[in-house]
Amino acid sequence: MIKIKTISACILIISTLLIYSGCGSSFSASQNSVSNTSNDTHTDELVMVKQSTAIAAGGDYSVVLKKEGTVVAVGNNKNGQCNVSGWKDIVAIAAGNSHTVGLKKDGTVVAVGLNDHGQCNVSEWKDITAISAGEYHTVGLKKDGTVVATGMREMGRCDVASWKDIIAVSAGDSHTVGLTRDGTVVAAGSNLYGESDVSSWKDIIAVSAGSFCTAGLAADGSARLVGEDPDQKSDVSGWTDLAAISAGYPIVGLNKYGTAVVYGSYSQYYPNTKITVTKPYDVSEWIYMVEVDAGNTHIIGLTEYGMVMAIGNNSDGQCDVSELNDLDTGTVSTSSDTSKTSDETNTQGKEYFALNEEVSVNETILIISKVEKVSGPEYTTLDDDQEFVIITVTIKNKGNNEFRYTSSDFALQNSQGEARGFATTKANEDSRLRSGNLASGDAVTGTITFKAPKDDPVLVLRYCDNTLGENAVYINVN
């Protein structure tokens, strides 16, 4: 989540394989119960909104956590804030102004980027359960409910040593906020704009520290806001049915229906014409969202299918994530690797299949039974030379253990060798394959929609149950 001063933005949709929930610096619509371990007895128990693990909008860059625990980043890398390719076993990410922080599954923390104030000095942290990155400081929540902080200490933004019973933290530009177990909020650091005036808040289930403000999500689904710009307060006061909220310079809310609302605008400079245009953040086409994160001049979101949406200023390439749009590149090989056993690839010993043919991959059985090509209403833009390809998929669990399935395990490759993830569209809204868990012996059938060139003679559906590209199989859908 982002915390910087300047306002200044990209519409891009990418598809990759991601972790879907957890704890970091943006917020997720998924929820979990927070048990009260104090001696007091409460009849009502608050439900805290989980902090996100999968996406983070930095000052002028974006970070994405992938399913296998690795991390990718795009945008400004002047201070090495995007040098995350070597990270492994990461379960949460946070992006500050010019530094990036990752929480490992063993409770330790890694960081890269600008360290002029010691904001990356986290190597000795242990037992951390959540992280957040501010402009020049980093905050960690320990499993015992206490908080640690490192980095710039001016204005008291790191004065969190006395905090107890904290269940969520968020670092802003020059302040830090913590959500307590009883639904109240504490703050440390700057209060120049009233951004730390949170002592009266009650029944809060999520907090987010922005550049010069603090946003809170109340248990009734309404928003709270203190800090700079009184117009923001009146604007977000009308937001209802919220499931998540995130504050950077803009403020973005995610409602329980999976759509987003935004307060704020961004400026985009066009060097060819030397014109700067101010635009609103148009998220009207964002649907099926589960996580959102507000940066300084851009906003990112994650759908339940693992698709990342981004809008805002792109002057530093913070939205240049097209390389993640192609789940696989190059021409599909029709030859099988005979050196692999059936368990390593599939039980039929081949990689290429036809419609209605049973495909066995590890513990999964796939059947592609129908392919339909249409054009019509959609949430994503459909060019004149494109059409939607709607594919009916049946997934069966032949193993002994439950596994997770998602549309992001599939990509459609065309005759040009381009492989694209699914498209979010109204065309299959009633039948679309939703993410879920499949118990042993169970099966699920649904449709997945892809964009493809019109009348393309070669369309191949690629299935892979992991992000490393191993054990991939291909089904000819023409």
pLDDT, tens only, 63-92: 988 888 899 999 999 999 999 999 999 999
Residue range 140-167: mean pLDDT, rounded: 97
Give domain status of residue 148, yes or no. yes
459 and 369 together in one domain:
yes
3-state class of 428 per DSSP?
helix
| Separation between Cα atoms, residue 236 and residue 413, nearest integer Å | 42
349 and 235 together in one domain:
no
Question: Per-residue pLDDT for 33 more than 60?
Answer: no
Per-residue pLDDT at 266: 87
Q: What six digits make up the tokens of 452?
A: 């493809």
* Contact between residue 318 and residue 75 where contact means Cβ atoms under 8 Å apart: yes
Give domain status of residue 246, yes or no. yes
Per-residue pLDDT at 228: 80
For the chain, percent of residues with pLDDT exceeding 90: 48
Give domain status of residue 237, yes or no. yes
Give domain status of residue 74, yes or no. yes
Choose between 41 and 115: higher pLDDT. 115
Name 105's Cβ contacts closer than 8 Å, sequence gap at least 6: 69, 89, 90, 91
Give domain status of residue 4, yes or no. no
444 and 414 together in one domain:
yes
Cα atoms in the Cβ-side hemisphere of radius 13 Å centred on 141? 26
* Contact between residue 428 and residue 293 where contact means Cβ atoms under 8 Å apart: no
Per-residue pLDDT at 319: 82
231 and 310 together in one domain:
yes
Q: pLDDT (tens digit, 9 = 90+) per residue, 390-411?
A: 999 999 999 998 888 888 788 8
360 and 441 together in one domain:
yes
Domains held by the chain: number: 2
Q: Is 244 exposed, middle or buried (0-12, 13-18, 19+ CB in 10 A)?
A: buried
- 35-49, 141-155, 269-283: range with highest mean pLDDT: 141-155
Q: What residues make up the domain containing 402?
A: 327-476
418 and 292 together in one domain:
no
Q: What six digits make up the tokens of 223?
A: 């928003």
Residue with tokens 């589960």: 290
Query: What does 105-153 look like in DSSP terms, one character per residue?
Result: TTS-EEEEE--TTSTT--TT--SEEEEEE-SSEEEEEETTS-EEEEE--
**312: domain CATH number?**
2.130.10.30
Question: Per-residue pLDDT for 48 more than 50?
Answer: yes
338 and 413 together in one domain:
yes
Per-residue pLDDT at 268: 79
